[in-house]
Amino acid sequence: MQIISDPREMQKLCATWRCQTQTLGFVPTMGALHDGHLELCRHARAENDRFAASIFVNPAQFGPKEDLGSYPRPFERDCDLLREAGCDALFAPDTESIYGKADFLHGTWIDVTPFDEMWEGVTRPGHLRGVSTIVAKLFNIVHPNRAYFGEKDFQQLRVVQAMVHDLNFDLEVRPVATLRESSGLARSSRNAYLSSENRQKASVIYRAMQCAIQMAQDGETDVKALGVAMDEVFASEPELHTQYVAIVDAQTLAPMEILDGRPARILVAAHLGSTRLIDNLPI
């Protein structure tokens, strides 16, 4: 596996593969890799001639009071995992090569409306703009045929899909289902912040969503009633504080009042101590 930090060098390598008509799958990450990331890698490896990943803890998608400084960065271990996953090239740039020197500020930003004004866009101002901008930059560096994104970050996935459509990126966005711990807790790099006791507590998010899904399967269509039932499950874990719990149209992410047959999604964001967790499931 080649490890490349210079954007130009990465661009050249990927261009060489394109000239040889080799297809390229791409998995962008912030590192601290876990089974969820590796599931994306498995798809990228299996479906393409070449597979590249990136590790970049993107400052632009962290708020001033968020965990940019403490975000886990086990780089050597990540490299080993990517090698084992059959990665051909890892792009791991530093902040300066992506956003320039502090005295030459990066001035081009991408806002994908209206997604940036709902859910994560409201609770983490600037976060989605940081995500869409870095993803666009990575796409322009790597030019993949297919890019793999986890459903774990469902709004991020919708933002990337909308951006690719709106800006005519010539690539396919491949969603990958969320990998979970046996308790149901979605795998996340931020789970590293949780004690094993708190991981168990955090699995209430999965149980609450499953409760609503079961009710919907039994015929309940009233979103308010589903919300009340989820609140009751959340009440069993008083240390977990939900930030939003919503049932939305899976396409537009607009709140729904009635489950009417359109694809719908439960979205949850919650705090457990100082750790912020998000999750979602189709309903």
Catalytic residues: 37
Binding of ligand AMP at residue 153 (CB under 6 A)? Answer: yes
Tell me whether residue 35 or residue 239 sits nearer to ligand AMP (CB atom). Answer: 35
As measured in angstroms, the least distance from the Cβ of 258 to ligand AMP is 29
As measured in angstroms, the least distance from the Cβ of 20 to ligand AMP is 27
Tell me whether residue 10 or residue 159 sits nearer to ligand AMP (CB atom). Answer: 159
Distance, CA of 281 to CA of 98 (rounded, Å): 33
Q: Which of 14, 30, 194, 245 binds ligand AMP (CB under 6 A)?
A: 30
What string marks each residue from 38 to 77 as x (binds ligand AMP by CB under 6 A) or -? -xx-------------------------------------
**Across-strand partners of 186?**
180
Tell me whether residue 5 or residue 16 sits nearer to ligand AMP (CB atom). Answer: 5
The 3 state secondary structure assigned to the chain is CEEECCHHHHHHHHHHHHHCCCCEEEEEECCCCCHHHHHHHHHHHHHCCEEEEEECCCHHHCCCCCCCCCCCCCHHHHHHHHHHCCCCEEECCCHHHHHCCCCCCCCCCCCCCCHHHCCHHHHCCCHHHHHHHHHHHHHHHHCCCEEEEEHHHHHHHHHHHHHHHHCCCCCEEEEECCCECCCCCECCHHHHHCCHHHHHHHCHHHHHHHHHHHHHHCCCCEHHHHHHHHHHHHHCCCCEEEEEEEEEECCCCCECCECCCCCEEEEEEEEECCEEEEEEEEC
What string marks each residue from 108 to 147 as x (binds ligand AMP by CB under 6 A) or -? ----------------------------------------
Binding of ligand AMP at residue 279 (CB under 6 A)? Answer: no
Of 37-45, 97-105, 112-120, 122-130, the window that binds ligand AMP (rule: CB under 6 A) is 37-45
Q: Which of 124, 174, 187, 201 binds ligand AMP (CB under 6 A)?
A: 187
Of 101-109, 183-191, 202-210, 258-266, the window that binds ligand AMP (rule: CB under 6 A) is 183-191
Quick check: 217 and 210 in contact, CB under 8 A?
A: no
- Which of 214, 226, 183 lies closest to 201, judged by CA? 183
Q: Which of 50, 137, 152, 158 binds ligand AMP (CB under 6 A)?
A: 152
Q: Which of 62, 99, 149, 206 binds ligand AMP (CB under 6 A)?
A: 149
Quick check: 240 and 197 in contact, CB under 8 A?
A: no
Of 8-16, 164-172, 174-182, 225-233, the window that binds ligand AMP (rule: CB under 6 A) is 174-182
Scan for tokens 């912040």, then name that residue: 193
As measured in angstroms, the least distance from the Cβ of 222 to ligand AMP is 30
Binding of ligand AMP at residue 191 (CB under 6 A)? Answer: no
Contact positions toward ligand AMP, by CB under 6 A? 29-30, 36-37, 39-40, 149-150, 152-153, 176, 178-179, 186-189
